[in-house]
């Protein structure tokens, strides 16, 4: 399954066009390699997705063509969620 379709079906990103845009900007890595939207995913792959000040790392558990909202979370496992802190100091 393509990376952009997985992100949409798993409901990590709501729209496939947005998933394609983010991945084509180099903000998604699959198994620690920068990936494009057309990258083919396999069960067990690890994705690192950068959203602004948040980085989400997930493992692919299942590749389903369609899914209901309540079953979408069964497609992946969250391994890590990091938030960048703003260290600006006001004088």
For residue 64, what are the contacts with CB-CB under 8 A and spacing of at least 6?
9, 71, 75
Owning domain of residue 73: 3-83
Residue 60 in domain: yes
* Burial category of 83 from C-beta neighbours within 10 Å (exposed 0-12, middle 13-18, buried 19 and up): exposed
Instruction: Identify the pLDDT of residue 48.
Output: 94
* Whether the Cβ atoms of residue 78 and residue 56 lie closer than 8 Å to each other: yes
Please check the confidence at residue 5 and state whether its pLDDT lies above 80.
yes
Distance, in Å, from the CA atom of 70 to the CA atom of 84, rounded to the nearest integer, reads 29
Query: How many domains is the chain built from?
Result: 1
68 inside domain: yes
Residue 89 falls within a domain, yes or no? no
pTM of the model: 0.81
90 within domain boundaries: no
> Is 27 part of a structural domain of the chain?
yes
pLDDT digits (tens, 9 = 90+) for 46-86: 999 998 888 999 999 988 888 788 778 888 999 998 887 76
- CA distances (Å), origin 73, targets 9, 41, 54, 58: 10, 17, 19, 11
Between these two residues, 22 and 89, which has the higher pLDDT value? Answer: 22
CATH number at residue 60: 3.10.290.10
Confidence of residue 89 (pLDDT cuts 50, 70, 90): low
């Amino acid at each position: 399954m393509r990376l952009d379709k997985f992100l949409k079906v798993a409901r990590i990103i709501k729209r496939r066009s947005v998933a394609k845009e983010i991945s084509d900007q180099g903000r998604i890595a699959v198994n620690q390699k920068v990936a494009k939207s057309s990258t083919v995913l396999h069960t067990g792959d690890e994705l690192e997705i950068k959203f602004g000040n948040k980085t989400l790392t997930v493992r692919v558990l299942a590749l389903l063509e369609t899914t209901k909202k309540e079953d979408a979370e069964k497609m992946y496992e969250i391994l890590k969620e990091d938030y960048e802190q703003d260290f600006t100091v006001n004088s």
